Amino acid sequence: MKKILYAPDLQAQVAAVLVGAGSSPEEAARVAANLVLANLSGHDSHGVGMLPRYVDAVLEGGLQPNTSLRVVLDTGTLLTLDGQRGYGQIVGEEAMALGISRAQAHGSCIMTLSHAHHLGRIGHFAEMAVAQGLVALHFVNVLSRPVVAPFGGADGRFGTNPCCIGVPLRGREPFVLDFATSRVAQGKMRVAHNEGRRVEPGTLIDEHGHPTTDPGVVVVPQSNGLFGALMAFGEYKGYGLAVACELLGGALTGSGTWHQPTDPAVRAVFNGMLTILIDPARLGTQATFDQEALAFTDWLQAGPVAPGFDAVQLAGDPERSYRKQREQEGIAVDAQTWQEIVSAGHKVGVTLSN
C-alpha cells in the first residue's frame, strides 16, 4: 500500500529529518524542497527516497552538512569550483548562480564542480539556466558503487553518469533533456525493488553477467556478495556517452573517476559536473535562434500522432505534466520506502508517523 502525501507536508517531514542529521533549518528546507520537486516532476528515483542514504552518508562522515562551495579559480568565463562534500542540492545551486552571473556578464561560462554530494535531478540546474534565457549543457559522473556495465562487459564499472541539455524557447516552456546514460536510473531500480516489481528485459544483468528482470540485483548484495549491473542505453552509443561523462564530469573537473573495487558499506554518493552556459543574445544569434527553434519544435508537433500516444511531446513536457497532477493529487510513496524514511528519522532522533 502506498502512502499519499501532499508536497508541503512531505517537505516538512523530510526537512525535520535533515535538521536531525545536522543541517541548519534553512539548508534542510532547501534540500527537502529539491527532493520533493523531483517527486513532483515524476522522478521518484531522485526524490525523498534518497533521504535514508543521505542520513547514512552524514553518519559515516561522507556528507558534510552546512558546507558551502569553494571557488578554486574564477577568470570570469572559467570557474573551477569545489563542493567540499556538501549537499549537492546546495552547492549545485550555488555553482549555477555563479555560472549564470558569469554567462550574463561575458556571454558564456565553462564551469567545473567537483566533490559535490549527490546533486539530485540535474534537470533542476538546467531549469535555473533556461529561466535566465541561457542554453545549458551538463556532463556528470557518479562516484558511488559502479552499477553500469560497459558495452561488451559483464559487471558494473561506472555510474549512471547523467547528461542534461537545457534550451530556452521564447514564449514557450523550455526544452530540458535530462537522462541517465544507463537504460534507467539506479534510483528507479530501488523504487521497483521496494514495490516488488520486475523491470523491462534488456535493462539488467545479474551478478554472473546474465540477463535478468529482477531489480534487486543492483539494490542488495546477491548470494555471493556481488551485485548485478545496469546496461547502458543504446548499446555502444550510450556507453560512449557514459564514458564521455566520466571523462568530462570526473577527470576534467578534478572530481575523480571510478577505478576501484566496490565497497557496499559506503553510502556517500559524489558527483562531478562540467557545465557549459551560453547566452544566445551575446552570441549574436538570438533572433535566428528564436525563430528557428520555434519553427522546428512546431514542425515536430504538427505531425501525425502515432497509435498509443496522445501527442508528440518535447523533453520537459512529462515533468511539467507530472507536477500539475501531483500538486493536486499528492505524491505516492510506497510502504517500503516510507518505512526506510521513518527508520532514517529514528537514527537521528526524529519520529515520523508510519
In a domain, 310, yes or no: no
Query: Rounded CA gap, 152 and 156, in Å?
Result: 11
Same domain, 133 and 272: yes
pLDDT attached to residue 262: 72
DSSP state of 191: H
Give the CATH number, domain containing residue 38. 1.10.1530.10
DSSP state of 247: I
Same domain, 175 and 260: yes
pLDDT attached to residue 25: 98
In a domain, 76, yes or no: yes
Domain count along the chain: 3
Same domain, 177 and 262: yes
Contact (Cβ atoms closer than 8 angstroms) between residue 87 and residue 63: yes
Same domain, 292 and 321: no
| Backbone dihedral angles phi then psi of residue 110, each to the nearest 5 degrees | -110, 125
Closest CA to 321 of 24, 129, 43, 42: 42
Same domain, 159 and 253: yes
In a domain, 354, yes or no: yes
Same domain, 224 and 253: no
Same domain, 223 and 239: no
Contact (Cβ atoms closer than 8 angstroms) between residue 199 and residue 185: no
pLDDT attached to residue 2: 84
In a domain, 308, yes or no: no
Same domain, 221 and 346: no
In a domain, 187, yes or no: no
Same domain, 271 and 218: no
pLDDT tens by residue, the chain, 354 residues = 788 999 999 999 999 999 999 999 999 999 999 999 999 999 998 999 999 999 999 999 999 999 999 999 999 999 999 999 999 999 999 999 999 999 999 999 999 999 999 999 999 999 999 999 999 999 999 998 899 999 999 999 999 999 999 999 999 999 999 999 999 888 888 889 888 899 999 999 999 999 999 999 998 888 777 888 999 999 999 999 999 999 999 999 999 999 987 777 788 999 999 999 999 999 999 999 999 999 999 999 999 999 999 999 999 999 999 999 999 999 999 999 999 999 999 999 999 976
In a domain, 309, yes or no: no
In a domain, 163, yes or no: yes
pLDDT attached to residue 190: 86
The range of the structural domain enclosing residue 246 comes to 69-182+234-302
247: CB partners within 8 A, 6+ apart: 257
Same domain, 141 and 198: no
- Look up the pTM and report it: 0.94
Same domain, 226 and 160: no
Same domain, 242 and 152: yes
